[in-house]
Amino acid sequence: MNEVEKILRKKKLEIDEIEVPEELETRLRAALKNRHSSKTIKGKWKIKVVAFLIAMMMIGYNVDTLAFYGKKLVGYDTLMSSNLKNLNELEKGQLIGKSYTFKNGEKITLDGIMLDDNQLLAFYTLQGLSENIDNVGSMSMEGIVGRHYMMGGQGEIDEKKKEVKWIMAFEPPYFFEKELRWTFTLTQGDKMEEGEIIFTLDRNKAMGHILKKEINKTIQVDESKIRFESILASPTTTVIKGTIQNIVELAKDQIIGERFRPDEIDIKLIANGKELLEQGSGMSTDMSGMKFDKEYEPLPTDLDKLQIQFVSFQADHDVHEKIKINKDEVNKSLKILGQNITINKVYEENGETYVTITTEESVLLSKVVLIIDGKKINLEETVLDEYDKRGDGRINHTRTLRFLGTGKDLQLDIHRIKYNKIYNQFIDIPMN
């Protein structure tokens, strides 16, 4: 335990040195400037809640509002996507209709669920809202062997601000699970109350999947391989899963100093020649490797062609490049891992050395030091960011690196570079 604690303590020393930014007080005052105490003006919070919900709608699942009528959920129309509306029309949801009332009178009702192989969607209503609209959270579905966490969702508040409807996605329960315990927490000021609703899954209502395929295709990127493993299309969503190979080496390389850290994978899913809307993505690392998943809207019913387009990949790469620079030189160009870097000028000011560089927008020297007369000087900060759009539509990023100290013999020592590379490769997924 000692070793871990030692590393943690070391990090603490660094945090101890963090200085409170000077602008803090100004920012706090500015934040309060146009605020009125809720004691005097009621209703201010509503604006904030609405803004929050709108944000959720833009970034969250594309789903519409619910309660059941007969065998269909009603009241969730504006929250449901056209796809979910169709599923609802086909009575694919399971009606639950169970409620829990918090001590403050607020009531939460699980109107219904929809279940398929990718997710469990919970449709619920909060009524008798007291203060904060989003004061109920921290949800999970618990089965007999484990918890299934919430993955995201979207809500909508009614005009009178007394009721909010949500569609929240959870990880799907295991196939053998029948009874689920839905837990949630109401937070009010410094008080918290946990509630639960227990319900039984009607497996006859579960929708399974419409397409499940192993992809097993590998694409070579600069220093690694991206492996597309599977696609699981269910009636509510389509999920592509994959791994970034060589992760074990990656982890090891982190100690040795030959690293490569993936950042962002841009993948499109194209069905019948039309791009499907991306609804979410994730990346996780464990000892078995780095995994990613991408989520898209459901596949069209008349599917005859399905393709994955691997658009681009961004990673942080270790390099070992030392570049001699001097103060008279202007616009020196160099290329590292195929990326153009221009050193526009090098100058001194008040005992400090400044280096202005231009690269393409996605290129970043993620670790760079300046060797002044043989001595390594860490980068103090990056200043003066400028972005220029070029004729070909690409964007140039110019900024100045500031180093403390001056000297005669200067070398820019680039240890690490981050960039985005376009691949645009297609993988066809066979339909049978």
Partner 1 sequence: MMVKKAKEGDKDALVQLIMAKKQEYYKLAYIYMKNKEDALDAMEDMIVIIYEKIHQLKKEDAFYSWSKTILVNCCKRLLRRKNKIISLDLVKEEVHEGGFEQKDQEIILEKYLSQLNEKHQEAIRLRYFLDLDYQTIADIVKIPLGTVKSRISIGLKKLKESLEVKSHE
CA distance 401 to 369: 10
Q: How many residues can be counted in the chain? A: 432
Minimum distance from residue 159 beta carbon to partner 1 (Å): 22
- Contact between 63 and partner 1 (CB under 8 A)? no
How many residues bind partner 1, per CB under 8 A?
A: 72
- Contact between 160 and partner 1 (CB under 8 A)? no
Which range touches partner 1 (CB under 8 A), out of 113-121, 210-218, 321-329, 373-381?
A: 373-381
The first and second tokens of residue 291, run together, are 């995994």
- Contact between 146 and partner 1 (CB under 8 A)? no
- Contact between 44 and partner 1 (CB under 8 A)? yes
Residue 74: what residue type? V
Kindly identify the residues of this chain, within the stretch 229-258, that bind partner 1 according to CB under 8 A: 248, 251-252, 254-255, 257
The first and second tokens of residue 156, run together, are 């909508």
Whichever of 74 and 404 has its CB closer to partner 1, that residue is 404
- Contact between 47 and partner 1 (CB under 8 A)? no
CA distance 354 to 54: 44
Minimum distance from residue 430 beta carbon to partner 1 (Å): 31
Minimum distance from residue 302 beta carbon to partner 1 (Å): 31
Whichever of 5 and 302 has its CB closer to partner 1, that residue is 5
CA distance 369 to 322: 10
CA distance 415 to 363: 14
**Of 207, 204, 282, which is closest to residue 243 (Cα–Cα)?**
282
Which range touches partner 1 (CB under 8 A), out of 66-74, 92-100, 210-218, 375-383?
A: 375-383
Kindly identify the residues of this chain, within the stretch 71-110, that bind partner 1 according to CB under 8 A: none
Residue 142: what residue type? E
Residue in 380, 405, 413, 425 binding partner 1, rule: CB under 8 A: 380
- Contact between 147 and partner 1 (CB under 8 A)? no
331-340: list long-range contacts, CB under 8 Å, 24+ apart: 336/414, 336/417, 337/222, 337/417, 337/419, 338/421, 339/363, 339/417, 339/419
Which range touches partner 1 (CB under 8 A), out of 82-90, 298-306, 323-331, 364-372?
A: 364-372
Minimum distance from residue 323 beta carbon to partner 1 (Å): 14
- Contact between 379 and partner 1 (CB under 8 A)? yes
Minimum distance from residue 129 beta carbon to partner 1 (Å): 15
- Contact between 127 and partner 1 (CB under 8 A)? no
Site string for partner 1, 2-41 (x = CB under 8 A): -xxx-xxxxxx-xx--x-xx-xxx-xxxxxx--x-xxxx-
CA separation (Å) from 230 to 275, 294, 302?
A: 18, 11, 21
Minimum distance from residue 381 beta carbon to partner 1 (Å): 7
244-268: buried (b, 16+ CB within 10 Å) or exposed (e) per residue? bbbbeebeebeeeeebbbbeebbbb
Whichever of 58 and 391 has its CB closer to partner 1, that residue is 58
CA distance 391 to 333: 19
- 295, 241 contact by CB (below 8 A): no
Three-class SS state of 287: coil
Kindly identify the residues of this chain, within the stretch 272-291, that bind partner 1 according to CB under 8 A: 280, 284-287
- Contact between 333 and partner 1 (CB under 8 A)? no
